[in-house]
Structure 1
Amino acid sequence: MIDRLLIERYAAETWPVAETREEDGWLLRHTPGVPPRRSNSALPLARGEALSTALSRVEDFYATRGMPIAVQVAPAEEHTALDALLAERGYRRDGALLVRTAPTGTVITGSRPAVPLGVVTVEERPTRRWLDAFIALDGHDNSHEAAERILSRIPGPAAYLSVERDDRVVGMGLVVAAPGCGGVFCMATHPDHGQQGIATGVLHVGARWAAARGADELYLHVMDDNQAACRLYDRVGFRLSHTYHYRIKP
């Protein structure tokens, strides 16, 4: 199983930001125009008390940029003392997520479609069609900014996956290769095409792509209240690695 801190390091390297800095055990990230989540938050890269003593410098970094101060408490199980300190200082808890991992071979076997899915398109770079589909299917207020400022700049190797029906994208995903593993992101299915095996098929093709690039394991992030996605990931072999959430102070 991949080390929990290493997963978060790989995920951080996957998600491009406009400005980044490592300081006293923290990874400080800033991207103008997007909310205080992964692209605008501080990620602890180490364990121990040193994180707490450097917190004032973390706060200064975001204050001088006119941003709310956000900390990605990841993995949450590794940072209970830090989380308690942030709560004591008035940081509100936000955005609880689960991080799941699985052997790539297990996902390939578990996601093999029972019936032909059709064509899953794989592109090595994000096309305009893929980015527009993400904006439409993601459904968040900042989806356009995320597509243009982040997803269009993901470092490769990466697989941008999509399924089309009636000349429109109805399912999609993104797999990014890292040393020995692959991260699964941006999984989405059009509501009119749910329960048709589209997401399972996207995972199957994405896992095969990752395996061909030496990824023995896969990891993904999912909101803890997304029960439908959790059932899908359980079914194809993903198991809980750790959890994380954000602490945000205006």
Structure 2
Amino acid sequence: MEFTMGGRAEVRITPADVGKRVSVRRRSEGGAAGWRFTDTVGVLTSWNNHVLSITPKSGESVHIAESSLVAGKVVPSAPARRRGPSATFAELAHVCARAWQPVESEPLGDWQLRAAEGFTRRANSVLPLGDPGVPLDEALARVERWYEDRGLPAYIQTATGAEGTQENLCAELEEHGWRREVTAQVRIAALAPIGDLDADVARVRLSRGIDEAWLSRYQRFDTPGPHVLKVLGSGPSVWFATVPGDAAGDAPAAIGRCVVDGRWAGFMAVEVDAAYRRRGLASAVMTALARQALDEGASAAWLQVEADNEGAHALYDRMGFVTHHLYHHFRSA
């Protein structure tokens, strides 16, 4: 990271740069070693009372005393990826939302309040794509009342790390006492290479509906009530994949779900029984679903994976997926 100009570090940002992506270097005491320097890159979300707030990709704001700055400059947005499809944040946010449709929803300006009796945060959180139409304090109070009326915790889903994402909203939520609970990556890739993988798809069965066997492998709920079936079955074109177990009557060895939506194919609920891992079943499920999506005219793939799921990251890396942005769920205090 280079801050020098003519051999001299400079602070070339001011409060007028709030809202821009910046790179700063600050110093802190390093004990016997003297000064220690730390670099931070993110959106400058505020500069008040001689303290800067910068929200990096992680979504958690960093507060920096103005007096500790050694260097700083405005930097361009992250360069476009050279692999995979091009996509805007707004496009992907709408596509992902259509794959996890709630049981009920209500608009608040450009925000969408969503609920599905608690099944998956993605269907039980506010999607804030725009202006709520009222001051933020009032919007947050309405959100809290709406979820309280349904016996649910109040969550707001935000995004960081791409052009047009919501670093400012993340910082404002933190200032209002909301806390980030979960961070996940939204990854994208070209679809054809996934369909071309040399995977054993002969055992993969595709269907439009969910049966008891598929649900017995999906471990994301206590009781598969109508709300679970409604959310899982939602989307423009939904497919379910099942790999039967080795013996008749066994729970499936692997499952998956795919939602085809225009040029996009979203992969989710890819799960493999522990006894069947390292047999290529996750790749087989995704390959079979990708071929079906290609037949329907899709050309690009997306998925969501929690930031700490290292095993899944390795698989998706091999398939060509790259991170487009991060999303977070903030919960009311």
* Shift, 1:51, TM fit: 8.0
- Deviations 1:5-26, CA, capped at 9 Å, x for gaps: 2222122122232211222121
1:81 and 2:165 matched: no
Match of 2:215 in 1: 131
Counterpart of 1:160 in structure 2 is 240
Computing the radius of gyration from Cα coordinates, the structure with the larger value is 2
Do the aligned residues in 1 keep the contact of 2:244 with 2:254 (CA within 8 Å)? yes
Which residue pairs with 1:41 in the alignment?
Answer: 125
Counterpart Cα distance in 2 of 1:50 and 1:233: 41
1:204 and 1:50, CA in 2 relative to 1: closer, same or farther beyond 3 A? farther
Separation in structure 2 between the aligned mates of residue 223 and residue 88 of structure 1, nearest angstrom: 25
Displacement after TM superposition at 1:121 (Å)? 0.3
2:98 equivalent in structure 1: 13
Correspondence 1:189 to 2:272: yes
What is aligned with 2:282?
199
The structure carrying a bigger helix percent of its residues is 1
Q: Please say if residues 52 and 82 of structure 1, whose CA atoms lie closer than 8 Å, have aligned partners that are also in contact.
A: no
Q: Does the CA contact (< 8 Å) of 1:15 and 1:150 recur in 2? A: yes
Separation of aligned partners in 2, 1:245 and 1:57? 20
| Aligned partners of 1:171 and 1:190 also within 8 Å | yes
Q: Deviations over 1:49-79 (max 9, x none)?
A: 9784643433332233343211011356511
8 Å CA contact retained: 1:4, 1:75 = no
Counterpart-to-counterpart distance in 2, 1:243 and 1:33: 22
Q: 1:132 and 1:171 mapped to 2: Cα distance? A: 11
Task: Label 1:74 to 1:200 Cα distance change in 2 as closer, same or farther (>3 A).
Answer: same
Match of 2:190 in 1: 103
Match of 1:217 in 2: 300
Q: Quickly say closer, same or farther: Cα 1:49–1:43, change in 2 above 3 A.
A: same
Q: Deviations over 1:141-164 (max 9, x none)?
A: 54745744522x324421100112
Does the CA-based 8 Å contact 1:16-1:39 persist in structure 2?
yes
Distance 1:160 1:174 in 2: 5
Pair 1:69-2:154 in alignment: yes
Question: Relative to structure 1, is the Cα distance of residues 75 and 50 closer, same or farther in structure 2, using a 3 angstrom cutoff?
Answer: farther
Q: 1:143 to 1:44 in 2, by over 3 A?
A: farther
- For residues 86-145 of structure 1, give each alpha carbon's deviation from its aligned partner in whole angstroms, at most 9, with x where no partner exists: 111111211110110011112223x322xx4541100011122222222xxx3x454745
Quote the residue 1:112 is aligned against.
198
User: Percent of counterpart pairs with the same letter?
Assistant: 27
**One of 225, 244, 247 as aligned partner of 2:327:** 244
In structure 2, distance between residues paired with 1:164 and 1:98: 30
Q: Go from structure 1 to structure 2 and tell me whether the alpha carbon gap of 1:194 and 1:217 turns closer, same or farther (over 3 Å shift).
A: same
Query: Which 10-residue stretch deviates more, 205-214 or 125-134?
Result: 125-134
Does the residue aligned with 1:126 lie in a helix, a strand or coil? coil
What is the total number of aligned residue pairs between the two structures?
241
The answer on 1:150 being equivalent to 2:231 is yes
Q: TM-score, normalised by structure 2?
A: 0.66
Task: Flag structure 2 segments of 5+ consecutive residues without an equivalent.
Answer: 1-85
Structure 2 Cα separation of the partners of residues 51 and 241 of structure 1 = 30
